[in-house]
A = this chain, B = another copy of it.
Amino acid sequence: MSTLTGVNKQITSFAPPARRLMGPGPSDIHPRVMAALSRPTIGHLDPEFVRMMDEVKELTQYAFQTTNRLSMVVSAPGSAGMETAFVNLVEPGEKVIVCRNGVFGGRMLENVLRCGGVPVIVDDAWGQPVDPEKVQAAFSSHPDAKILAFVHAETSTGVRSDAETLCQMAREHGALSIADTVTSLAGIPVLTDEWGIDAAYSGSQKCLSCVPGLSPVTLSPAAVEKVQSRKTKVQSWFLDLNLVMQYWGDGHSKRTYHHTAPVNALYAMHEALLMLQEETLENSWERHARQHQRLKIGLEALGFRFLVDEPYRLPQLNSVFLPEQVKEESHLRKRLLNEFNLEVGAGLGDLTGKIWRIGLMGHTAQPENVDFLLEALSELLH
């Protein structure tokens, strides 16, 4: 064996700065969640771990307001949660109505195509909600559509679409519904059973304020039946719910090893979901709404304007045009980061350079954060 390739002695332990996370996610983590994260690692088949997973399932049901037995946490970020929904529910050749009013609707379309699905695209402008009339028209032209997919809370624009109406339309046309609730869960109502959502996924790092890297997912009994009666194998082994279910269990059978779960991240998710249950969903929604109002008044006084019309605004994600005096948004954004350790998000796609996305998600949604941001902006703008 020849000599080994050398090492770089310049690298030392990483000491991240302590930021205030007011972008589109990740959000600030509560100390209780951080403490849970760093508890001793145990095995992914340890009886104590399996017991904790059962509690995570139950807490996930609460967060999604569902009795779905298939409620669990995918061992990867929200993008993988999205892919879980599509690769399990779409069979090659099936028609899928995909609503696209931002980045994440576009990502849904990518998923449909990569599953061999036949997309029927319903486009709405970025910053607008999904138009139910266009969806109705799509179902009329494509009565054989098997799935309706839409983003409940578009992270790229901060717009909320009417999940209840859309899911009802899907049901009336015998289609399953897939709802992206990455940014909505715990920030605004997500009533899975009442609205009849068939598959919903979220992200750990938004209004749940858990560390990034996990995706809570829930599937209705009708969706599970579809997964179990597929004619073709799910194209992803890692995300195949027929296999994942055997590890997460259905309350009866023995757990079968599928992959090594991200043990410590799941401790953190357990604690974050537990804190949500302690606060209650109603209080969490109300807290997000209240801080949004506080932020809105301050931002408008400083000359910011909202991208999204009031009825469709997400309280947890505020997309705003900057005051006219600001010629270069990235300069101001960098000053917030470097001088105030405060992160806000840039625009995506056509909105790059035009808007900011200011997050008030989960633990970030506190009055002191709103006030600190407004003070910092006031200082930098005057």
Known: A13-B271, A34-B38, A77-B262. A23 touches B2 (CB 8 A): no
Checking B11, B76, B77 against A59 with a beta-carbon cut-off of 8 angstroms, the contacting residue is B11
Q: Chain A 16-41, CB within 8 Å of chain B: the 1/0 string?
A: 11110101011011001011111111
Tell me if A229 is interfacial: C-beta within 8 Å of chain B. no
Known: A203-B260, A274-B13. A75 touches B213 (CB 8 A): yes
Known: A80-B76, A260-B25, A262-B77. A19 touches B42 (CB 8 A): yes
Binds B, one of A170-178, A276-284, A299-307, A316-324: A276-284
**Given the complex, which residues of B lie within 8 Å of A13, measured CB to CB?**
32, 36, 270-271, 274
Tell me if A366 is interfacial: C-beta within 8 Å of chain B. no
Tell me if A226 is interfacial: C-beta within 8 Å of chain B. no
Tell me if A125 is interfacial: C-beta within 8 Å of chain B. no
Contact residues of A between 151 and 194, Cβ < 8 Å to B: 189, 191, 193-194
Tell me if A354 is interfacial: C-beta within 8 Å of chain B. no
Checking B15, B41, B213 against A29 with a beta-carbon cut-off of 8 angstroms, the contacting residue is B41
Q: Chain A 316-347, CB within 8 Å of chain B: the 1/0 string?
A: 00000000000000000000010000010000
Q: Which of A40, A67, A194, A274 has the most CB of B within 10 A?
A: A40
Contact B235 A114 (CB under 8 A): yes
Checking B77, B111, B189 against A259 with a beta-carbon cut-off of 8 angstroms, the contacting residue is B77
**Given the complex, which residues of B lie within 8 Å of A274, measured CB to CB?**
11-13
Contact B261 A212 (CB under 8 A): yes
Tell me if A91 is interfacial: C-beta within 8 Å of chain B. no
Bound-state CA distance A209–B255 (Å) is 24
Tell me if A372 is interfacial: C-beta within 8 Å of chain B. no
Checking B41, B58, B66, B261 against A8 with a beta-carbon cut-off of 8 angstroms, the contacting residue is B58
Q: Which of A23, A35, A38, A87 has the most CB of B within 10 A?
A: A38
Tell me if A297 is interfacial: C-beta within 8 Å of chain B. no
Contact residues of A between 88 and 133, Cβ < 8 Å to B: 107, 110-111, 113-115
Q: Which of A8, A29, A193, A262 has the most CB of B within 10 A?
A: A262
Contact A37 B38 (CB under 8 A): yes
As for how many copies of this chain the complex holds, the number is 2
Checking B107, B203, B262, B265 against A237 with a beta-carbon cut-off of 8 angstroms, the contacting residue is B107
Contact B1 A259 (CB under 8 A): no
Contact B11 A46 (CB under 8 A): no
Q: Chain A 217-248, CB within 8 Å of chain B: the 1/0 string?
A: 00000000000000001111110000000000
Binding site for B on A (CB under 8 A): 1-2, 4-5, 7-8, 11-19, 21, 23, 25-26, 28-29, 32, 34-44, 46-49, 52, 55, 58-59, 61-62, 65-67, 75-80, 82-83, 87, 107, 110-111, 113-115, 189, 191, 193-194, 203, 205, 211-213, 233-238, 257-265, 267, 270-271, 274, 277, 280-282, 337, 343, 348
Given contact pairs A14-B55, A211-B264, A262-B265, enumerate 6 new A-B contacts (beta carbons under 8 Å). A8-B62, A11-B274, A17-B48, A37-B37, A79-B259, A213-B260
